[in-house]
Structure 1
């Protein structure tokens, strides 16, 4: 599905919920869909500031909260100072680098019934779930190898 299609689909859902489509809302939504780097509210603000000079960081936060409430966006808080935001068109999980903090989306169809399995095994009524896998991304692995190699070469 193209990003334009996802934007249009999301805009239609907002309209059906009687939520006014402002240019800023459209811009924030479009940015989230086109940039899968799980940005912070400040990163979104910085990226859109030249396009919307009168927009404040508070406007970005308020719209992200709205999108979260509507179900378009997941707020991801990993214990650091800033939440990251992720457009959610399909259930997915996250691989997180413990060195640089990079987050990659992970789609794994075998986990689609995890909520139902959890209910069957534990009796829990599952409202939501998230899976995070921590490790070291390829770039940080490469940097580590280069540092290790240069240390032993000296």
Structure 2
């Protein structure tokens, strides 16, 4: 695989933020440094970074995918109101992993937990209404 300044810029942006941006948001940030970059190039590079295990893709179930440069074991919380994805320091238990492994479906390489609800900020806004 050849070195790509654009791919490196995408990865650097992801590493610089605690947010979990979508490809569109990443595109807007990287475009500032690389005005000729296309959204398709961003998607291709994100796919490659995910395949290499350097970035995690978080699918929220609404058709939107978010990206995270933190590949350590952690879960995510998705707010269905504001659509933010936040880190949640919860990992699958050993019992859950063993149960999944013993289901006979195959090996377990990665366990991703996504919790969905309404975040405290949105709850506070709703209570003001």
Q: Does structure 1 conserve the Cα–Cα contact (< 8 Å) formed by 2:50 and 2:56?
A: yes
Q: How many residues align?
A: 127
Larger radius of gyration: 1
- The residue number in structure 2 matching 1:95 is 77
Normalising by the residue count of structure 1, what TM-score does the alignment of the two structures yield? 0.73
Of the three residues 117, 121, 125, the one matched with 1:139 is 121
**Which of structure 1's runs of 4+ aligned residues deviate more than 3 A?**
none
Give the match's secondary structure for 1:52. Answer: coil
**Correspondence 1:48 to 2:66:** no
For the residues of structure 1 that align with 2:111 and 2:40, how far apart are their CA atoms? Answer: 28
Normalising by the residue count of structure 2, what TM-score does the alignment of the two structures yield? 0.85
**Structure 1 regions of 5+ residues with no counterpart?**
1-18, 148-154
Using a 3 Å threshold, how does the CA distance of structure 1 residues 123 and 82 change in structure 2: closer, same or farther?
A: closer
Using a 3 Å threshold, how does the CA distance of structure 1 residues 78 and 51 change in structure 2: closer, same or farther?
A: same
| Larger relative contact order (CA 8 Å, sep ≥ 6) | 2
* Greater displacement, 94-103 / 79-88: 79-88
* Structure whose residues are more often helix by fraction: 1
**Structure 2 regions of 5+ residues with no counterpart?**
none
